[in-house]
Each structure stands twice: as C-alpha cells, then as structure tokens.
Chains A and B, each alone.
Chain A
Amino acid sequence: MSLWKQAWLIARTDLRVEGRSGEILWIVLPYGALALFLIPIATALPLRVLSDIGIGMYWVVVLLFGMFVTLRQSSQASPQERDLMRLTLGDPAALFLGKSVASTTLLGVFQLVMGPISVAFFNPALPPQWWLLIPVSALLALAMAMTGTLVGLLVAGTRSSTALAPLLAAGLAFPSLVGASIATSNLADEKSIVTPIALLLLVVAVTSAIGIASSTLLEDQ
C-alpha cells in the first residue's frame, strides 16, 4: 500500500473517530466561542477598539484553541493501538501525514465556524481584499496541524503530556501566527502579502520535512 493511501486511511479513521466523539464540535468550538465572549468583558474596551483588534483576536483564538484541535484526545492512540499501527503500517511517515491531514480538515472547519462568530461579535474592519485571508487561513491551518501533530508524537506517552503539549505547540506555532498577522496588516495597508505567504509555506515545508524524517524515531516509544 502506498504512503499516501496509508496516510489517507489514517486521516479517514481519525475523522471518523472525531465524528463519533464530537470533541471538536461539542467542546472545543463552544470553548473558543466562549473565549471570544470573555475577551471584551475582561478588557472592557470600547467598541471601536474591539473592532480594530477583532481579526487579531480571531488569530489568537485560532492559535490557542486550534491546539486543542490538533492535540485532541480522540487522535491520541493508546500503547496497544500504537503497537498495532507499527505492525500494520509500511511507512511510519504515514502516521504523521494522516494525522496532519485530519487535523488540517478539522482546523479548517474550526476556522470556518469561528470566522463568522468573530465578525458578528467584534465587527472588525475587514480589508478591501478580505478574501485573500482565505488562503492565509488555509496555510495557517496546515502549518498548525503539522506542528500540533509533531508535538503530539513528541509528547505521546510522557508524564504531563496534556500540559506540555500546548506549551510546545503554541511556541512553535509562533512563526505561523506572525505570518497570519503580517498578512492581515499588509492587506489592511493594501500591501503585498507575498512575504507572509512565503513564511507560512516555509513553516509548512520545514515542519513536514522534520515530521517525515523523524517519523521512524518517534514511532519508538
């Protein structure tokens, strides 16, 4: 079975498990939306300022709550499941790729839901070419999914993994957040977004290279 076929099977299984458990739909999404409610209450900022920071708040919520998506419990394999995968999978890289694909899909859904909620609550001043934020969001989802998957594999089976994973993932996702933030401000100033797009592509390329190259090592528990 080819690498991509194996990866697709893992992604499909992950998405099915998520579909049944509903962890993203019933827990992470409401939690993210609640955070968007709480920020204006905690900061007590005037509506005009909230409108200015609206898109930034959206990126922060996507970054922080996106970590819950990529590190969701339903994607974590038990030691027995890991042994089974080790025996049945031909290429360990399929695990990284498959989980990344599943997480990218779920992060895309998360962004699709949180986007309109952010617009409704914060009434942000969208740039004239706001639709260019769609490929930026897609690249951010891919970069975060790969980072989160890699971190998930790094902390699998360790003590304090639930606390450690967000610390590592949020830190390593920083360049992706910077890329999204620069793209937003450049669009608002009607400047080119080639540099932030290149930054996001670089993060995706480097993370996927490290993920694939280290897959055999990380399979070793």
Chain B
Amino acid sequence: MKTQRIFAWLATVALGYGLYLAITSPPDAVQGEFVRIFYVHVSTAWVAFAAFGVTLTGSLAWLALKRPILDRTAAASAEIGVFFTGLAIMTGMIWGKPVWGTAWNWGDARLVSTAVMFFVYVGYLALRRTISDKRVRANRSAVLGSMAFLMVPAVYFSVNIWRTLHQGPTIRSDGASMDPAMLAAFLTNLAAFSLVFVALLITRVRLELLAESVATDEASERHGLATPDLEML
C-alpha cells in the first residue's frame, strides 16, 4: 500500500512537471506549436510498448514458475498497454490532422500496425474474459501474451520494410538532434509516463488480488470453509 502511494505521488508530481515543460518548451521550427503533442504521443507509445513487454515477461514467468501473481501482472499490464496504445493512436491522429493534413494515413506502416496491435491485445483481454478456470486461463493467456508481443517489433520495424510517413529516430547514437529545452521536456515526460505506468500497474494488480480474495472469502462462507491466506494468491 505504501509503495502504491509513493509511486502515485511520484507519478503525479512528475507528470505535472513534464506537462509544464511541454507547454513552456520552445515551438518546433517546422511543426510550430503542434510539437507539444509529440511529448505526450511518444511517451504514451513508449508506455504501451513497455506494458506489452511486462505482459510478455509475466507470461513467460508464469509458464516457468506458475505463480498466480505473475499471470495477474501480465493481464494488468496488457490492460494498461491497450489503454495507452489507444491514447497513442488518438494523440497521433490529433497531431496528424494539422501536420500531415489528415488524421489517418494508410500510407504509414507504424500507424496501421499500431492499430492492429491494439486489436490483438483487445483479443488477449477478450480471451481472458471467456475462460473461467484460472489455471487454464493463465496458460492460454501466457501463450497468447508471448505470441502477441511479436507485434511490438513488427510495429517498431514496420517503417524500415514498409511505407511510412513517420520521421526517423530523433535521438541517435551520434547525439540528439533536439534543442536542449525540448530534449528535457521529452525525457521528463518519458520518465513521468513511465512512473504513471508503474503506479497504475501496482494498483491494478493489487485490485485484482483483492477482488479474488473477496470472491474466495464469499465462496468459503457459502461452503463453510476456512478463508485461504491472501499470500497464497
């Protein structure tokens, strides 16, 4: 509970500071004021990728260790990933309308593949809802969670093998090509959104474990059985 609160506060403060920097940073030479959406857009996309990475890790860890918390973490992270993928698509569309002249462009591989990734993970969450047996659900979700992660490199590298309008990497190994104030705003938002992700993940996993605990308590009361220890979950 204490960890949850610490991360929630850290995330709130960091997010506030990140948004302040995003608003006060200089406008872009080409995009003008619209560049401010970029700080949120890239950060949400980064959180989505990270969330699906946690889903993969949780899935593989469940397959190896069979500890329920690993499966719940994978699922919670997928939920957050779907939300942030949706947010990344929406912010991208808001940015695309004035800059590209259209909210949606079929000529951009990253845009299209991100939308497909969104639906694949919606399918992952839907699969979980259709299976009531916890062990079977965890097994099948772990297999799908591992397979679905293939979409992440597919999205990232799609621009290399397919058509694209997305710009190339802004931060390169030979040094960043951004104004220092813009770079600070970008990195602060990246860190702030990462903290938001951690705070949401801890809260969601905790909620899930509590919900299961309550359901187990109710079932035990109905059948007159002793309440199992929450630690067992």
- Chain A residues near B (Cβ < 8 Å): 150, 154-155, 158-161, 164, 167-168, 171-172, 174-175, 178, 182, 195-196, 199, 206-207, 210, 214, 217-218, 220-221
Contacts and interface: CB of A to CB of B under 8 A. Distances in A.
Q: Taking each of A155, A168, A218, which has the highest tally of chain B beta carbons within 10 Å of its own beta carbon? A: A168
Given A158-B131, A174-B154, A167 B140 contact: no
B161 A164 contact: no
B147 A210 contact: yes
A172 B148 contact: yes
B37 interface: no
Contacts of B120: 168, 171-172, 174
B86 to A, nearest CB: 15
Interface of B: 63, 109, 113, 116-117, 119-120, 122-123, 126-127, 130-131, 135-136, 139-140, 142-144, 146-148, 150-151, 154, 158, 161-162
Nearest to B117: A171
A206 to B, nearest CB: 6
Given A158-B131, A178-B158, A182-B162, A168 B143 contact: no
Contacts of B122: 167
Contacts of B151: 171-172, 174-175
A155 to B, nearest CB: 7
Contacts of A210: 143, 146-147
A166 to B, nearest CB: 10
Nearest to A185: B163
Given A174-B154, A199-B161, A218 B140 contact: yes
Contacts of B154: 174-175, 178
A217 B139 contact: yes
Contacts, number: 76
Nearest to B160: A195
23 contacts: A150-B143, A154-B143, A155-B127, A155-B130, A160-B130, A164-B123, A164-B130, A167-B119, A167-B123, A174-B120, A178-B109, A178-B158, A182-B161, A196-B161, A206-B147, A206-B150, A210-B143, A217-B140, A217-B142, A217-B143, A218-B139, A218-B140, A220-B135
A182 B150 CA distance: 19
Contacts of B130: 155, 158-161, 164
Contact of B123 (A171, A182, A214): A171
Contacts of A164: 123, 126-127, 130
Nearest to A168: B123
B71 to A, nearest CB: 13
B126 to A, nearest CB: 6
Contact of B116 (A158, A174, A199): A174
Given A174-B154, A178-B158, A168 B144 contact: yes
B111 to A, nearest CB: 13
B150 A175 contact: yes
A196 B160 CA distance: 12
Contacts of A221: 136
Contacts of A150: 143, 147
Contacts of A168: 120, 123, 127, 144
Contacts of B63: 217
Contacts of B127: 154-155, 158, 164, 168
A171 B131 contact: no
Nearest to B141: A154
A85 B125 CA distance: 29
Nearest to A173: B116
Given A150-B143, A168-B127, A182-B162, 16 more contacts: A154-B144, A155-B130, A158-B131, A160-B130, A161-B130, A164-B127, A168-B120, A168-B123, A172-B151, A178-B158, A195-B161, A199-B161, A210-B146, A217-B139, A220-B135, A220-B136
A168 B119 CA distance: 8
